Amino acid sequence: MNVLGLVNYWAFIFLMMVGFYILISQGNLIKKIVGLSIFQTSVFILYISMGKIRGGTAPILMSEGDPVYSNPLPHVLILTAIVVGVATTALGLSLVVRIHEAYGTIEEDEIHDHDLA
């Protein structure tokens, strides 16, 4: 098993887990959405790093030379995912605004208290 070849995956998993921790430990709804987008971006980096070939170049065809191109397929999938991610963020933030209008707060604890009272 080549440990050095896996270290970059572990670094991206660490970033993912920081985002996940922000998402589940913070009571503030905006902070939760930021944590979700950190998680998303880290997954994107993980995907893109799988498409990288050592010594490769960006997959734009060149007429001269015989270059090695990195795998274009993960790039395409992540382009779609980035745009879907911002749509999710926009919808989440507008839900936060709506919750703030209904409860007057964006702290999860206070919303629970409000519901129980």
- Among positions 79-98, residues that touch other proteins (CB under 8 A) are 79-80, 82-91, 93-98
Neighbours of 35 (CB within 10 A): 20
**CA-to-CA distance for 27 and 32, rounded, in angstroms?**
8
Amino acid at 16: M
Q: Say how many residues touch other proteins, by CB under 8 A.
A: 84
Nearer to other proteins, 111 or 117 (CB): 111
SS3 59: coil
Query: Does residue 17 interact with other proteins by CB under 8 A?
Result: yes
Nearer to other proteins, 9 or 117 (CB): 9
Query: Does residue 116 interact with other proteins by CB under 8 A?
Result: no
Query: Does residue 113 interact with other proteins by CB under 8 A?
Result: no
Q: Name the residue with tokens 């572990």.
A: 10
**CA-to-CA distance for 14 and 34, rounded, in angstroms?**
16
Beta-bridge mates of residue 43: none
Query: Does residue 51 interact with other proteins by CB under 8 A?
Result: yes
To other proteins, the closest distance from the beta carbon of 58 in angstroms equals 5
**CA-to-CA distance for 35 and 31, rounded, in angstroms?**
6
To other proteins, the closest distance from the beta carbon of 65 in angstroms equals 14
Query: Does residue 103 interact with other proteins by CB under 8 A?
Result: no
